[in-house]
Structures are given as structure tokens and as C-alpha cells.
Amino acid sequence: MKQFTSTLANKLPLQRLRSIQGIGAPFIVLATLGMIVLPMPPFLLDMMFSFNIALAMVVLLVTIYTRRPLDFAAFPTVLLVATLLRLALNVASTRVVLLRGHEGDGAAGQVIEAFGNVVIGGNYAVGMVVFLILMIINFMVVTKGAGRISEVSARFTLDALPGKQMAIDADLNAGLIDQEQARLRRFEVTKEADFYGSMDGASKFVKGDAIAGILILFINIIGGLSIGIAQYGLPFGEAMQIYTLLTIGDGLVAQIPSLLLSIGAAIMVTRQNTEEDMGEAMVSQMFDSPKALSITAGILFIMGIIPGMPHFAFLLFALLAGGAAYWKIRKQKEQEEKTEAMALEPVEPPKPKELSWDDVQPVDIIGLEVGYRLITLVDREQGGELLERVKGVRKKLSQDFGFLIPPVHIRDNLELPPNGYRIMLMGVACGEAEIRPDQELAINPGQVYGPLEGEHTRDPAFGLEAVWIRGPQQEHAQALGYTVVDAATVLATHMSQVLTNHAAQLLGHEEVQNLMEMLGRSAPKLVENFIPDQVPLGAVVKTLQNLLHEHIPIRDIRTIVQTLAEYAPKSQDPDILTAAVRIALKRMIVQEINGISPEVPVITLTPELEQLLHKTMQASGGESTGIEPGLAERMQQSLMEATQKQELQGEPAILLTSGVLRSTLAKFVKNTIPSIRVLSYQEIPDEKQIRIVHAVGN
């Protein structure tokens, strides 16, 4: 209890401090409105003028010592609040000057009196000249230049925003950064665009403030003369002396903070995104060249010895520049001698480093190696679209299969042909081909109306006849019935086909665990104690891999887990669990193959052949290699003919058999007839009608 009380006591001052900080900006805004509406005594006016000057100095120093513009992202808002505060002070001081100016110099406050008498020596003509010079410096030089830089910076920053976002996505896809780093970099890019856009608008505040200062000066002088002569009966010379000095003092009090803020805005928009403050950057970049310092010292020395010139000033700075140049040259020479000495010293051979697990680099799950001529497809700056295509392939396959496809790591390989590429899975090449990055591939879909001139080849994804053509031939090829795609699409399609055929290898324990966590958020009771109490994680992984191996998506993970939980007490065999899950997913499986048609065209085995296969499987322990070679060849030929007939009619090829034979026959036809799908009788939904289109006998 005592420890809790102590902790609470330590937190309360921090909370009070945060609450006090939070009311600062609203207090300034309310004070600004009060100064515009309510009359202010001279003492309070002096306090506010002093606060305004202090605020401008703090803002200027913060801009000088800020290392990056985004470190002071609140600067546009601070600039607006400070400008409004200064304009409100102008209104309040104008009211005091016009109402009480006839009483004497101190009637409008000591700050205005000091700037009117001390700074400009009590001479209103000198004060007018000094004020106009300050206005010209502020308006024509600092504000105008800062406004132009703000406008250009905002334009270029906004134009570069899409490219920076795409570069972040490219690094994320290539595995150079993770999701958290990508999120932070996107936030930085958006924050930078917002900052420069705000600075473009904030520069208009400074410009408007400078114009308002000139107008307020003349309005106050004319108003003061009118009031002093007409209302208080002052002579023209005395009224001119009193009101002009007070007005110029008031203007100088307001314009000095305005000039400081204008300089701060100019410094902020001219800063680079480096880790140095302004002082460090200027010293390191301006005075780092001894040659420039030596030439400057020589010119100043010549000017200093010319008769009639101020010898002391020029010779003093010539001596300082020459000394700095000598010091820099000596320092560089010492550094060179030190480097040469280190190079001449005998270098002890490094001790052999002890091997560790860090020296064992894991293979990439998915890798893409490209020849040097294909680097243009990867480089965004050269118009490469491959990264976007690969990202699209990953997204599409992740949605189709129901789990996140791992990132693709792309690297160049000089051992490949210049136009070649290689798709790697777990460090093993699973596909390679050559493409032409400056040409397009015209693919023959099966029926075209004429030949094409070009380099004849085959589509690497599906093995279709194709021709590499130039850009001007594209419309002619499409008119002949060819499908024309660019090189990046050819590679992306090939990768999509390879990943589809090897989807089971991409699913591991980590991915399955993530699937369980995702399901646990929507169905926590179902996942609770599922792994490992009911089913081991390895059995779940193997079951899901079996489904993917036969191109069955695992999107409906809820149904899969429910089925596994139901059948787990009966058997832990992944093959038996796979068969049970297939039956549970039968509607989705049939829909993936045949769509929503109520009738399912199937190829069946004759009862005699099916009975023979049952006996053969029992004798060989369930292996398809136990089928007599002659019978296997006749079955394969008949199934191939039936499959081709179904494809010509635009219908899927489905082999329907018993549940005992389904797995064996699926393995039998997988490599020889990959387009045929093998289903068991239990996997046909009750509402579907079966239409037998062919019966395979022995």
C-alpha cells in the first residue's frame, strides 16, 4: 500500500505538468482575442511585447538547432499563433497610442518609448528610414525567398510521394524491411508531405504580416495626427513628433519579432534532412577547404595594403583566414602521415574467427534469380514492373489458397544467361526460362488465323507455342487471335504456376500456427486445446499439405478444424484425416471444379475394373505401383482419351471412384494427366446430379 501511494504521488506532478502544457496554446489564442477586444494598461502591454520578442527568439533558436525539419513539425502552427499574437498586439498598442499618446512618450508603455527614443535616437525621420529598411529586408528578401522555397519544396515533395511509397513497398516485398519498419517509413513520408504543404501555406502568413505592418504604420500616423490636432488641439509639429515616434516605436517592436520568425521560416525550409544542426553543417561545409581559405586570405591582404583602405580590418581578417587555412592544411597532412604510417605497419593476419550459427544462412523459401539484362524489370527507376507483378501474384495466391505466401527474395545471378531467370523453392530450382525484356510474347491459345514473324518459343508457364514480337506487331498479333503479354507478365505467370504446383511446400508449422491464431480470434472455443491436446501440430500440417497437394484451398479453415477435432479420437493418421476433411469440404471442391452447375459430368471405372483394383491394392499394400504394367498402360490411355474429349467439350475431367481407391488413383494420374481430378462417391454433394460421360474398363 505504501509503495502504491508513493508511485501515485510521483505520477501526479507529471500529470499536472502535462495538463498545464496542454492549456498553453488555448490561453494564447484567448489572450489574443482579449487584446483585440479589451483595452490594455501600458504595463500589461509591455509584458506582452516582451513575451512576443522572447517567443520569436526561442522559435528562431529552435530552428537553428533542429537537426531535421520534421523534428519541428509544429512550426507552421507556431508561426500562425505567433503571427496572430503580434497582430493582436498591434491592435492593442494602436488603441493605447491613439487614446493616450497626447499625454507624453511614456503613455503607451516603456517598451514602445524605448524603441522610439533609444533605438532610433528620438528622430522620427531616422525611425521611418530604419523601419522601411527592416520592412524591405523582411518582405522583399527573407519572406519572398522563403515563400518561393516553400512552394517548390511542397510541389516536389508531393510529386515524389507516390515514388517513395512504391519504394517502401518494394523493400517490403524484397524482405529488406519488415511490416513495422514499412509502417514507420510510410508515416515519415506522409508527415514530410504534410509539413512542406503546411509550410507553403504558413509562408503566406509571414508575407501578409509584413504587408500589414506597412499599412498599420501609415494608418497610425494619419490617425494619430488627426486625433492630436482635431481632438486635443496639439500643434502639427508636436503631434507629428509624438505620434510618429510612438507609431514607429510600436512598429519596430512588432517588426523585430516578425523578422526573427521570417528568418526562422527561411532556415526551416532551406534545411536538409541530415543529422547535423545548422551550425555544424555550415562550419563543416564552408570552412573545410583550405584552398578557399588561402585564396580569401590573399585577396584580403592585397585589399588591406592598398593606400586609403582600412588596413587594420582587412589585414586582421586576412590573418584569421590564413591561420585557418594553415591549420586545415597541417591537420590534413598529419592525417595523411598517420594513414601512411598505419599502411606501412606490418599487419598481423587476423585470427581465424570461430564458426557460429550466424555463419549458417537459411535458404529463402521463395527465391527469384535473374540475369543482368533483366535487372531493368526489377528497377522501378527504369520503369520495371516486376515487383508489382510479384506482389500481385502473392496476394492472389494467398487469397486463393487461404494462407499467406512468403515474400519473394529477388537477386541477380551472373551465372545465368543475360535474359534468363530461375525460380527457387527452398534453394531448389523449380523453373527457369529466358525472356526478352524489350519484346512481347504472343501466345497461341489453340486457334489462330495466321503465322507471326519473330523468335519462336514456348510459354514457360503452360508450354504453349509462342512468338517473341516487337511492339508494333502487337495489334496485328491480337487480330490473328494471339494473346500478347509483356516480359514481366510472362515471368509473373510462370512464378504463379510454379507456386500453385508447389503450394504444399510453402505451408509449414509457422504458417499453420498463424492460421490457428487467426481462427482463434473469431472462434476461440474451437481452437482452445485443439493443438496439441486433440491433434498434434505435425498431423494438422500434413493434412493441410495433402489438401494443397491436390489443389484444394484451405480458406475454410473453420470447417477443416471442426472436422479434425471430430475425427481425431478415431485416428491420427493424416491420410484418414485428409479423406474426412475432403468429405466435409465436398461442396467447395465440386464448385471449384465444376462451378454451380447442378449436373456433374464424371468418368467412372467399370465394376469389374474397380473390383480388380481393390484386390490389387490389397495385395500390394495400397501402392499404385502394384498395378500390372499392361493394365496401368491401358487405363492411362483410356483416361487420357476421355480427358481430352471433356476438354474439347469445355467440361472438366472428373474421375469418380470409391473412397478406398481415390487416393491411390489420384497419385496414379497426377503426373501423367494433371488436368483430371479424382473424387470419391462420398465427395459428391447430395443436391448434385451425376452424369456418366465415359466408363473405363480393363
When pLDDT is averaged across residues 536-550 and rounded to a whole number, the result is 91
Neighbours of 435 (CB within 10 A): 24
Closest listed residue to residue 109, CA positions, set 290, 286, 254: 254
71 has pLDDT over 60: yes
* Ranges 259-273, 576-590, 673-687: which has the least confidence: 259-273
What is the rounded CA–CA span in Å between residue 559 and residue 556?
6
Bridge partners (DSSP) of residue 695 are 604
When pLDDT is averaged across residues 541-561 and rounded to a whole number, the result is 91
Structure confidence at residue 117 (pLDDT): 65
Structure confidence at residue 581 (pLDDT): 92
Using the structure block, give the residue that is written with the C-alpha cell 586582421.
Answer: 316
Bridge partners (DSSP) of residue 690 are 600
DSSP-derived 3-state class of residue 237? helix
SS3 content of the chain, % helix, strand, coil (to 5): 70, 10, 20
Average pLDDT value for the chain: 79
Write the single-letter amino acid at 79: L
* Structure-block grid coordinates of residue 241: 513628433
Q: What percent of the chain has pLDDT over 70?
A: 80
Say if CB 505 and CB 425 are below 8 A apart: yes
What is the rounded CA–CA span in Å between residue 52 and residue 479?
75
First to last CA, the chain: 87
C-alpha gyration radius of the chain: 41
Bridge partners (DSSP) of residue 465 are 458
What is the rounded CA–CA span in Å between residue 568 and residue 576?
10
CA 96 from chain centre, in angstroms, equals 55
Give the dihedral sign, CA 259/261/267/270.
negative
* Structure-block grid coordinates of residue 333: 597532412
CA 611 from chain centre, in angstroms, equals 62
629 has pLDDT over 70: yes
Structure confidence at residue 524 (pLDDT): 87
pLDDT tens-digit map of 140-176:
777 777 677 677 766 777 776 676 777 777 777 666 6
Neighbours of 525 (CB within 10 A): 8
Closest listed residue to residue 199, CA positions, set 154, 161, 158, 159: 154
Structure confidence at residue 111 (pLDDT): 73
Neighbours of 674 (CB within 10 A): 11
Structure confidence at residue 106 (pLDDT): 58
Closest listed residue to residue 684, CA positions, set 550, 586, 616, 582: 586
Closest listed residue to residue 686, CA positions, set 595, 616, 586: 586
ω into 257 cis (within 30 of 0): no
pLDDT tens-digit map of 171-207:
776 666 777 887 887 777 777 777 777 776 766 776 6
422 has pLDDT over 90: yes
63 has pLDDT over 60: yes
665 has pLDDT over 60: yes
Using the structure block, give the residue that is written with the C-alpha cell 502473392.
Answer: 394
Write the single-letter amino acid at 354: E
Cα distances (Å, whole numbers) of residue 122 to 96, 108, 237, 241, 470: 19, 15, 14, 9, 84
* Structure-block grid coordinates of residue 263: 528568418
Residue 404 is given by DSSP the state: P
Instruction: Considering only residues 30 and 11, tell me which one the structure prediction assigns the higher pLDDT.
Output: 30
What is the rounded CA–CA span in Å between residue 251 and residue 217?
6
Cα distances (Å, whole numbers) of residue 297 to 167, 262, 287, 307, 551: 47, 33, 13, 18, 80
When pLDDT is averaged across residues 104-129 and rounded to a whole number, the result is 65
DSSP-derived 3-state class of residue 294? helix
Neighbours of 393 (CB within 10 A): 21
The full 3-state SS of 665-685, as one line of letters, equals: HHHHHHCCCCCCEEEEHHHCC
Bridge partners (DSSP) of residue 205 are none
When pLDDT is averaged across residues 421-445 and rounded to a whole number, the result is 90
Neighbours of 279 (CB within 10 A): 10
19 has pLDDT over 60: no
* Ranges 237-251, 388-402, 541-555: which has the least confidence: 237-251
Bridge partners (DSSP) of residue 678 are 655
423 has pLDDT over 90: yes
Instruction: Considering only residues 248 and 574, tell me which one the structure prediction assigns the higher pLDDT.
Output: 574
| DSSP-assigned states of every residue in 42-62 | HHHHHHHHHHHHHHHHHHHHH
Q: Which residues contact 255 (CB under 8 A, 6 or more apart)?
A: 131, 134, 135, 138, 213
When pLDDT is averaged across residues 318-345 and rounded to a whole number, the result is 76
Say if CB 59 and CB 6 are below 8 A apart: no
Structure confidence at residue 11 (pLDDT): 45
Exposed, middle or buried: residue 264 (CB in 10 Å: 0-12, 13-18, 19+)? Answer: buried
426 has pLDDT over 80: yes
Structure confidence at residue 543 (pLDDT): 92
Q: Where are the alpha helices (DSSP H) in 467-622?
A: 474-479, 487-501, 503-506, 509-522, 524-527, 537-549, 557-567, 574-584, 586-594, 607-620
When pLDDT is averaged across residues 54-62 and rounded to a whole number, the result is 83
10 has pLDDT over 60: no
Q: What percent of the chain has pLDDT over 90?
A: 13
